[in-house]
Structure 1
Amino acid sequence: MNLDFNDTFYYISLIVIGAPVIYFLTKSGFSYREEKKTVLMSLFLTPILVLLLMSVIFGIDKTTKNIGDLFGDFLHFIIYIVIGLIFLGICLVILVFLIADNKKDVINSIKDRILKIGKGIGRKNK
């Protein structure tokens, strides 16, 4: 992400404006249930409020450009992490397979683990 001074100022302003908004929206003084509702509501409303404030201060074009850049960089990061973890898993399976004496037991163990993971994902929590 290439940041010039204006983008750096934009993100610093986003933090400076966003932090007090989160603080005031989650300020205590309610009962437990009311506080829980307030916190949940503020988590959904804070990004909208901060984005509206930033679009008023910096303009809608700069705000949408920076949001797009931020989400694009985040998406690239997630894709690289997933590809890296898949590659690491493949390398570890190959390494274990090469080191093991009994190859058939390794294959059966890997199958069992994959089936356990599949059953764990498919199970519904009650």
Structure 2
Amino acid sequence: MERSQHYVRPDGLPPVNGYSHAVAFSGRMIAISGQVPLDAEGNLVGADDAQIQTRQVFDNLAAALAAAGAGMRHVVKLTVYLTDLADLAAFRTVRDDYLSPDTPPACSLVQVSGLVNPSFRIEIDALAAI
């Protein structure tokens, strides 16, 4: 049984780039706290490199999901926080390595003036359903 339905671009809504305008789902909900570009020892990864930081954040999301018995395919919603919109292309490149283009999650992307550590360029939280 399919547990999620992705409405990538319903009639009357603008084009998208790697996300769905809506996702309907059922099942056990998993909320993943905002993940930042720190490795398992708490070290910053990719000091001034948005793509390396984003990859670490997605690796952290995948690890948190796995701990809850889920995977990236179960993500129904992402919220992305960027300190610089110039990093959007790097985010999209990495995102496309982790998420299926056929069933992308709903997504919000927000530019923020800063994150908890001034060296962080990105933070992402997620909702998943299994």
Q: Structure 2-normalised TM-score? A: 0.27
Q: Report which of the two has the higher share of helix.
A: 1
Q: Report which of the two has the higher share of strand.
A: 2
Q: Structure 1-normalised TM-score? A: 0.27
The structure with the largest alpha-carbon Rg is 1
Identify which of structures 1 and 2 has the higher relative contact order when contacts are C-alpha pairs closer than 8 Å and 6+ apart.
2
